[in-house]
Amino acid sequence: MPGGGARAPRLYVNVDHIATVRQARRTDEPDPAEAARLA
């Protein structure tokens, strides 16, 4: 990288996948809104 600085990798979170897990488990966890806030 020019300038010698290292960049942190980006983390991409698909909140829809979190909602899919929630539906599959038939529960209130994990919370997609909380996951989006943490991301």
In DSSP notation, 2-36 reads GGGPPPPPP----HHHHHHHHHHHTSS-S-HHHHH
pLDDT at 25: 95
Q: Name the pLDDT band for 6 (thresholds 50, 70, 90).
A: confident
pLDDT at 10: 79
pLDDT at 3: 60
More confident residue, 4 or 8: 8
The residue whose two tokens read 């990798």 is 9
Q: Which residues, other chains included, contact 13 with Cβ-Cβ below 8 Å and sequence gap of 6+? A: 35, 36, 39
Q: CA–CA distance from 8 to each of 1, 11, 21, 22, 39 (Å)?
A: 12, 9, 28, 30, 15
pLDDT at 2: 59
Query: Per residue in 10-39, pLDDT tens?
Result: 778 788 999 999 999 999 999 989 988 887
